[in-house]
Amino acid sequence: MIKPHGSDALNPLYLSDESARKALTEEAKSLPSILVNSAAAANAVMLAGGYFNPLTGYMNLADSLAVSEKMTTTDGLFFPVPVVNRVESSEGIEIGSRIALLDPNVEGNPAVAVMEVEGIDVANDDQINTMTEQVYGTLDANHPGVATFQAAGNVFLSGPIQVLNFSYFKTDFPDTFRTAVEIREEIASMGWEKVVAFQTRNPMHRAHEELCRMAMDSLGADGCVIHMLLGKLKAGDIPADVRDAAIRKMAELYFPPNSTLITGYGFDMLYAGPREAVLHALFRQNMGATHLIVGRDHAGVGDYYGAFDAQTIFDEVPEDAMDIEIFKADHTAYSKKLNKVVMMRDAPDHSKEDFVLLSGTKVREMLGKGEALPGEFARPEVAQILMDYYQALDAS
Catalytic residues: 201-202
Q: What is the DSSP letter of 314?
A: G
Q: Where are the beta strands (DSSP E) in 168-316?
A: 195-200, 223-229, 260-265, 291-294
Burial of 178 (0-12, 13-18, 19+ CB in 10 A): buried
**Whole-Å CA distances, 154 to 57, 137, 297, 353:** 18, 20, 30, 50
CA distance 41 to 18: 21
Residue type, 150: Q
The answer to whether 293 and 198 are in contact (CB under 8 A) is: yes
How many alpha carbons lie under 13 Å from residue 267 in its C-beta half-sphere? Answer: 28
Helix (H) or strand (E) segment spanning residue 163? strand 155-163
The answer to whether 344 and 332 are in contact (CB under 8 A) is: yes
The phi, psi pair for 224, rounded to 5°, reads -130, 130
Q: Which long-range contacts (CB under 8 A, 24 or more apart) does 54-57 make?
A: 54/4, 54/5, 54/6, 54/7, 54/11, 55/79, 55/83, 56/11, 56/13, 56/160, 56/161, 57/13, 57/115, 57/116, 57/118, 57/158, 57/159, 57/160, 57/161
**Of 307, 293, 170, 171, nearest in space to 227 by CA:** 293
Residue type, 181: V
- Rounded to the nearest 10 degrees, the angle between the axes of helix 360-368 and helix 380-395 is 70
What is the rounded end-to-end Cα distance, in angstroms, of the chain?
48
CA distance 107 to 109: 5
The answer to whether 273 and 299 are in contact (CB under 8 A) is: yes
